Amino acid sequence: MKTFRQRLAGLHSDHKRIAQGAMRVAFFLLLGKAAGAFKEMAVAYRYGVSDAVDAYQFTMVMANWLPVTIVGALSVVLIPVLVRTRREDRAARRLFMGELQAWLIAGGTVLAVGTYVAWPWVLEWAGMGLPEQARRMSGELMFAFAPAALLTLMTGLSAARLRAHERHINTLLDSVPAIVILIWVLLAATVNDVGPLMWGTLVGYMIQSAWLLWLAARADGMWGRPRWSLNAHQWPDLVKAAGIMLVGQVAMSFVGPIDQYTAAGLDGNANATLGYASRLLSLLLGVGAASVGRAALPVLADIQARGDQHRARATALKWSALMLLAGIGVVLAGWVLAPWGVALLFERGEFTAENTLQVAHVLRWGLLQMPFYFGVLILVQLLASQNRYRIMAAIAVANFLMKALMNYLWAPVMGPAGIMLATSIMYASSYVCYVMVALRPVAGNAPSR
């Protein structure tokens, strides 16, 4: 009978690479999420459940959804390309990186200006349920969130470059905006407006983007001077794959805005209540599942590049089953500890015991997504490493349709808790779809299967 240490020593090197990467990511995520939790504690202490928090939550989700969507789609298709590019000569890598930097800067600038110009229409359409004071504050917050669109794209590229080298320090630096907001909110003499939130957001994004660019340049050994051309040989396959993936990412990206739109139509500062529960839930989602997911993609892409597709599939399925079981454990523990956790983080200052009960109730229904989110994330990385982007896009569109239907059915009945339940049902259906696809072997490695 083998001991645990012997079994651990006998693990395949690919499992060890994922586990080691996951531990590093989990450590960085834990530090980063702790910073985010302290930021939320400070915001709850100074602002409570108020119009300012409603405005901040609404603006953050609605203004970030498109740049975050683009980064999500680009990362999934770009990391496997960057892993393969590591085997090419330096001149080819420098050309591709320079062109990629240039077009992201151009696209990010257009996106930032377009977001700022279009914001009054966004408020009129999606924010019609917000109080007038919150709508005014949301307009002020756009001085920070519009330029953050460009900074988000640049940060996403730098993070992808680091992850392609299996370096995960970007996960820790995700907390930089939260730390700066924390400092700004605590040092503010008064919090009668959204000024501390606005300036903390803008400065935080600027520091994060510059820091990650420097780290990525060190990892690649090059800065990637911008070149506005399309001469690198990677562009045809990358653009095709990114276009397909963007369809799915855009569909999934509407989940956040549709939640904000649904919550804005509910009574009792539903946006703020949902926001507090969501940010506490993200702590568990990030530390648990994202650690493995972020560590798995470069490893699975490397296995695929070696031509060992069967090992990549078996490795991903084993990790998915393990994460599903871990998620069930998190749900059981989290259901019991939800009121205590909310009270520990938020219940002080303007955040009352009644607010604690409201947020804990919403959080419990959100916890039901844990096993399926944990399990599906590793399968997403598997299909991405196999270039099965069409299937991924189709599942993402189906997820959005399921989410929209469940919001319509449950939010009027359960309030913000119904929005969380709808998300849990969406991830459960997503997991079933991904398992069915992953169990089917791949005969080839077609770029757009």
**Residue 295's pLDDT is what?**
62
pLDDT > 70: percent of the chain: 85
| pLDDT tens column, 279-311 | 788 777 766 556 666 666 667 767 766 666 777
**Residue 204's pLDDT is what?**
95
Tokens of 288: 């648990």
**Residue 109's pLDDT is what?**
96
Nearest Cα neighbor of 147 from 113, 122, 174 is: 113
**Residue 376's pLDDT is what?**
85
| pLDDT tens column, 328-343 | 998 999 999 999 989 9
Whole-angstrom distance, CA of residue 138 vs CA of residue 123 = 8
Model confidence band, residue 110 (pLDDT cutoffs 50, 70, 90)? very high
DSSP secondary structure of 109-125: HHHHHHHHHHHHHHHHH
**Residue 239's pLDDT is what?**
83
Residue 258 pLDDT > 90: no
**Residue 166's pLDDT is what?**
73
**Residue 290's pLDDT is what?**
60
Mean pLDDT score, 406-434: 93
Contacts of residue 440, defined as CB under 8 A and 6 or more positions apart, other chains included, come to none
**Residue 427's pLDDT is what?**
93
Could you say which DSSP state residue 286 is in? I
Whole-angstrom distance, CA of residue 316 vs CA of residue 66 = 29
**Residue 4's pLDDT is what?**
40
Contacts of residue 201, defined as CB under 8 A and 6 or more positions apart, other chains included, come to 60, 141, 144, 145, 148, 177, 180, 181
| pLDDT tens column, 31-67 | 776 777 788 788 878 887 678 888 888 888 888 888 9
In this structure, the chain runs to a length of 449
**Residue 405's pLDDT is what?**
94
Residue 322: other Cβ atoms inside 10 A: 14
The angle subtended at Cα 198 by Cα 194 and Cα 199, nearest 5°, is 125
Put residue 446 in one of left, alpha, beta given phi > 0 → left and psi -120 to 50 → alpha: beta
| pLDDT tens column, 340-351 | 989 988 888 778
Residue 91 pLDDT > 70: yes
Model confidence band, residue 432 (pLDDT cutoffs 50, 70, 90)? very high
Question: What Rg, from alpha-carbon coordinates, does the chain have?
Answer: 22
Model confidence band, residue 117 (pLDDT cutoffs 50, 70, 90)? very high
DSSP secondary structure of 346-372: H-STT--HHHHHHHHHHHHHHHTTHHH
pLDDT > 90: percent of the chain: 30
CA distances from 206 to 123, 145, 251 (A): 26, 11, 28
**Residue 449's pLDDT is what?**
40
Residue 377: other Cβ atoms inside 10 A: 25
**Residue 115's pLDDT is what?**
93
Residue 406 pLDDT > 80: yes
